[in-house]
Chains A and B, each alone.
Chain A
């Protein structure tokens, strides 16, 4: 059953991609729209990777944009200055970000809750300021002239890859250890789970994927500026909002939130100022009534859909 459901999912994903390509060729979808879809994929990667740290392992990290920044700048440097192939640059960006995740995770682990959050915010800002002072990547004036290597196909593929890897991680023994750490760290420790190891692991993996998303991002935007909006705490909070609204611990929620919250601002371009009033209000309401997020802990699965459909049919029969 597992193999069949995987096959079906794979086919659906492939179909979706082909549909997009077809619509683009027919001119129904403009390059502008495809760009937005690419951005959706990048945000999916960012949110799902943050979910691993915050949602599944319960570590409150709000410096995620720092990892994005490392991946973005490192990969841009490689492609622009060393003419490296894009794939290589993406991987390097991810690895370097992963190392940073390790560096942040290790000392930060002594902290809990609020303090951890602020410390990660601090790390994110420190990374930004280091980049701000590095002339080799444009320093304060930013890095311009980055080639446009990010295509929708590539972004889509990377998003799928990220989701698959993280989902497999979460459903594995490693993932269960992380969940144990999230639920009750001390109890987990007493059962022999090395909480430090798993927390650091979550940070590192999450950071790695954020780095790859960063590489895609810089080669999408073609210009990186070391401002809080792009790679600082404002961006970190943007990602956090998507994560929280989608639901901590729900990969499906993260995907849906990332896509929706990328598209809606484009739709509401005329109302950009109101958007930043609606989002926070929404956030506060969600926190008051459903603090874990809209889809928290729930995943959409093929079996889930078939059951829903069956249930609906059954109900229909009764009425």
Chain B
């Protein structure tokens, strides 16, 4: 084929694309964008969130929608990668014209999307993002979970006061906002309460071999080891730690919550403690109802991410109803004043800054199951 012909073809193709009419005839639906990590290192989170959000939206639509309008979900995969998340956000805002964005799921992705949403004046609600700095990006940014500073503090308190632990070591991901934020909070509180951080080691997202760091830690034989990272990394760390001779009490975070943790940790997560958003043992009708329906619909018990995802939909629905329209300003205002929602992860009241006032639970892995050990209510309820 002649070269010029090829080139002409390409240019025509480009023009056609450039002129493509965006969108199609739409009925009166409320378009909501969901950015979640369906593939990549936190795939189980992303899938849980997607499942729960879809279930939540289906529930709302089945009950007649919001003020008579149904919700239409546009789901995009950010692959657990910040750049992809940013691209997805752009597409949702510029091309799909969504009324608001649900997600992303993990803090690094949220940090890439939030500035974009804020600049575009579009409300964004991450049901699961816990990084502190998320809500300080702007007034259009909201979350459905507690902050890492809260989480890290809770774990440090629990370890020092309930378990009587005097010394801790930390191994964390220096390339991940989530991990760093948790480490900062834990360290500050633990030291405040008189504990000693005897050693710290770090690694980068994607590392698989932690033998160098863990061997160093093993030499110090710490009483406890805090591992603030997602299950896909915490699992291997737990296994390698035990194999390299660490007998410490293992302390974890909500990121550990995944059905894959046990396999990845080779069973060595046994006896570990984590802070989480909810527990299947909580005696609340809403929670138990949610668990039953989710299990029936998807064939497996929901994890905390799913619960948060579902609650995210509840928050969003409440705000949409209160706002009465999809006007960004009104929606933003409504989101900021959401209150007294009886959700699967507890009662939700949004604080003016965009973070809900919620409780946390401490769970212990016993016999392969998450056992509720304690429940901590936030101050100022």
Contacts and interface: CB of A to CB of B under 8 A. Distances in A.
Answer whether A and B touch in the complex at a CB cut-off of 8 Å.
Answer: yes
Interface of A: 20, 23, 28-33, 35, 37, 132, 139-142, 144-145, 148, 221-223, 225, 227, 229-230, 252, 256, 259-260, 263, 267, 269, 272, 294-295, 298, 300, 304-305, 308
Contacts of A298: 3
Contact of A256 (B2, B7, B108, B111): B7
A31 B94 contact: yes
B373 interface: no
A229 B81 contact: yes
A132 B204 contact: yes
A298 to B, nearest CB: 5
B81 A32 contact: no
B208 interface: no
B95 A259 contact: no
Contacts of A259: 10, 14
Contacts of B90: 32, 35
Given A141-B180, A223-B112, A23 B82 contact: no
Interface string B1-34: 0111011001101100111011000000000000
Contacts of B328: none
Contacts of A225: 82-83, 108, 112
A29 B18 contact: yes
A206 B115 CA distance: 32
A313 to B, nearest CB: 15
A260 B13 CA distance: 8
B108 to A, nearest CB: 8
Nearest to A225: B82
Nearest to B79: A272
The SS class assigned to the A binding surface is helix
A35 B21 CA distance: 16
Interface string B65-87: 00000000000010001110010
B297 interface: no
Contacts of A269: 91
A259 to B, nearest CB: 6
Given A223-B82, A305-B4, A145 B14 contact: no
Nearest to A32: B94
B313 to A, nearest CB: 24
Interface string B177-205: 10010000000000000000000000011
Contacts of A139: 174-175
**Top 10 nearest A-B pairs by Cβ distance?**
A32-B94, A140-B175, A32-B95, A223-B112, A31-B94, A256-B10, A260-B10, A298-B3, A140-B174, A225-B82
Nearest to A297: B3
Interface of B: 2-4, 6-7, 10-11, 13-14, 17-19, 21-22, 77, 81-83, 86, 90-91, 93-95, 108, 111-112, 115-116, 119, 174-177, 180, 204-205
B177 A28 contact: no
7 contacts: A140-B175, A141-B108, A141-B180, A227-B83, A295-B3, A295-B6, A295-B7
A159 B176 CA distance: 35
Contact of A221 (B18, B77, B83): B83
A222 B137 CA distance: 14
A259 B17 CA distance: 12
B96 to A, nearest CB: 9
Given A140-B175, A223-B86, A295-B6, A263 B119 contact: no
B94 A35 contact: yes
A272 B177 CA distance: 27
Given A298-B3, A305-B4, A267 B119 contact: no
Contact of B18 (A33, A223, A260, A304): A33
Contact of B175 (A31, A35, A132, A144): A132
Nearest to B76: A269
A294 B9 CA distance: 13
A36 B38 CA distance: 24
Which of B2, B77, B95, B204 is packed against the most chain A CB atoms within 10 Å?
B95
Nearest to B116: A222
